[in-house]
Amino acid sequence: MIEQFKEWYINRHAYAKQWKERTGGKVIGTFCTYVPEEILVAANMLPARILGSHEPQDVTEPHIFGMFCPFCRDSLAQGLKGRFNYLDGVVLAHSCIHFRQTFNSWRIHLPVEFAYYIPMPNTAQTPHAPAYHRAEVDKFKKAIEEYAGRPIAEQDLDRGIEILNRNRRLLRKAYEHRKLDNPPLTGEEAMYMAVTSQFIDKEEHSNLLEAVLKELPQRKLPRDAGIRLMAVGSENDDAEFFKMVENVGGTVVIDEQCAGSRYFWNESVPNGDRLAAIANRYLDRPACPVKDYPAHSRFQHVLNLAKDYRAQGAIIMQEKFCDPHEGDNPRLKKYLEENGIPTLSLEFDSTNPLGPFRIRVEAFLETIRGEELF
């Protein structure tokens, strides 16, 4: 049953096309993970996150200069190659400079019916962000209403909030199982599980999660968990990397990445003001380094995760040229190490040198095992 997540991951475009055919609904491409999806779901639309394919590509050179991160170029390449030709619209909630280029080149060269930019606060910690962001979420809702040709009622919003929250709750429950001595799911499987929630119909995804959750307590993997690892850093959905790590004696038991836990960790807390609840959820979520100002709130969260999941080491996965993460990593590395979590820093591209990475991961695991001896 859990294999379905992988199946969805591999065939995500076919899934979206079928969903569209089946429901007659609109599919909206989301850039980064700050788009308030509750609004889209409330309007019966399918939010589908734009991701790369981890294949070499040569179509983005005229659009994005090579000094920008491989992820933003890989993602644009998917559009330019026509793989997202089923999208009816695209939305970006303000995140990093790099990915904004993907969104802009997309809306210039791949016209869709609906393109919307949400100027979401970057200084998410300021006390003025909630009121401001609520107003922006309200504008976004109105734009979606206009596009959909029908109003989004309060009960629609409640439904949108609950559908998203249910999915988040279930993902967190699934992650709880990773705290066990012998986690019943690998890091690779957890990655498929988490990242697919970003483009599969949430209710369908949640239904599968519920079924999987029933199975997980009995599930025994024919492998030793080995060294418990944390994956932390930039966007990463490189399944081959997780597979490699878990073939050489480690298990990724927790992540702090936008393709994983950062996406679903917190819920919208319902209050009388639904739009405020939605807006606050995105401000309060575990921050991407782009939005972690003025203090580094993220570091404590990373450490808490490492402790809760008993990670013995952390792999800091740095997307090449990703300035926001590059601006955090030296201090984050120091912080983790000072708190007893050894780290291994790796620089990622769209395609990665698994051979050299394997040697480094093996050496990292050896150093951790070495410490266990004494």
Partner 1 sequence: MATLTKYPTAPLKCWPKAKEIRQQYYKDYAEAHDRGGIRWSGGAWAFDAVPMGLGDDVHVMTGEPYAASIAWDRKFAQECQDATDAKGWARDLCSYMRIYWGSMYLNRFFFGGEFPKPDFYYQSQICCSHSKWDQEASLYEKVPYFCVDVCVGPYETLDESRLNYVVNQLHDSIAGMEKATGRKYDDEKLIAAVHNECRSTSLWAEICTLNKAVPAPLDEKTMFSLYVLATLQRSSKQVADYYEELRDEVKDRVARGIAAVPYERCRIITDTQPPWGFLKIYRYMEQFGVVSVGSVYTFGLEGIFAEQEDGSWGPRKTPQQLGIKIKNRDEALRVTADWNLSRPCWQHFYDPRIKTRMMLKMVNEWKLNGVILHLNRGCEGLTVGSMENRLGLIEAGVPVMTYEGNMADEKEFDERRTTSRIESFMETLGLKQIPEAAVAHAA
Is residue 211 a contact point for partner 1 (CB under 8 A)?
no
Q: How far, in Å, CA of 244 to CA of 236, rounded? A: 14
The yes or no reply on residue 121 touching partner 1 (CB under 8 A) is yes
**Burial class of residue 238 (count of CB atoms within 10 Å of its CB; 0-12, 13-18, 19+):** buried
265 or 293, CB closer to partner 1? Answer: 293
- Which of 55, 331, 340, 356 is the binder for partner 1 (CB under 8 A)? 331
In the range 257-296, which residues lie near partner 1 by CB under 8 A?
Answer: 289-290, 293-294, 296
Alpha carbons 311 and 157: distance in angstroms, whole number: 38
330 binds partner 1 (CB under 8 A): yes
- Shortest separation between residue 343's beta carbon and partner 1, angstroms: 11
Sign of CA dihedral 364, 368, 369, 370: positive
Which residues are within 8 A (CB) of 68 and not within 5 positions of it... i.e. 6 or more apart? 97, 98, 101, 321
Q: Can you tell me the distance from the alpha carbon of 257 to that of 35, in angstroms, rounded to the nearest whole number? A: 16
Would you count residue 308 as binding partner 1 (CB under 8 A)?
Answer: no
Q: How far is the CB of 355 from partner 1 (least distance, A)?
A: 23
Counting contacts by CB under 8 A, is residue 123 touching partner 1? yes
One residue of 4, 44, 81, 117 binding partner 1 per CB under 8 A: 117
- Residue 300 CB, nearest distance to partner 1 (Å)? 14
Nearer to partner 1, 123 or 155 (CB): 123
Nearest partner of 49 among 16, 6, 98, judged by Cα: 16
* DSSP category for residue 83: T
Minimum gap (Å) between residue 108 Cβ and partner 1: 6
Does residue 68 belong to the site contacting partner 1 (CB under 8 A)?
A: yes
Question: CB–CB of 83/53 below 8 Å?
Answer: yes
The answer, yes or no, to whether the previous bond of 294 is cis (omega within 30 of 0) is: yes
Binding site residues, partner 1, CB under 8 A? 61-65, 67-68, 94, 96-98, 100-101, 104-105, 108, 117, 119-123, 126-129, 131-132, 135-136, 289-290, 293-294, 296, 318, 320-321, 323-324, 326-331, 333
